[in-house]
Amino acid sequence: MDTNCPTCGAVLRQVVHLPKYWLSVLECGECTDTGYLQLTDMRSGTSLHKIEKDVLDAIRTLDDAALSLAASQIGRAGQDVSVYRFEDWIRREKIESQG
């Protein structure tokens, strides 16, 4: 099933899929600065959360183990989802890998 960009309507492409965390990272080919986390929850369905371009670019460089650790940082409380810690972890991991 295709997921469309909420900004322009183009079909989003999958960058990373982490089934253990029910998480996919998607990007829009039309909106070049836009990435999304697609989270699936059996109770509340599927939701898209916009991520910044620097996070999307960093995700491309990380291995599966690092991405799994980042995914474990996603806070879920009922239907509320917070991806702040995920983005923060990705940014810190990118800085550490460069230094």
Asked if residue 67 has pLDDT above 70, the reply is yes
CA distances from 74 to 18, 20, 27, 39, 94 (A): 13, 13, 19, 10, 18
C-alpha 19/C-alpha 34 separation (Å) is 22
pLDDT at 44: 66
* pTM strictly above 0.85: no
Q: And the tokens for 53?
A: 């371009």
Asked whether residue 78 carries a pLDDT value surpassing 60, the answer given is: no
User: How far is it, in rounded angstroms, from Cα 35 to Cα 82?
Assistant: 16
Read off the pLDDT of residues 8-38 as tens digits, 9 standing for 90 and up: 999 999 999 988 888 899 999 898 778 999 9
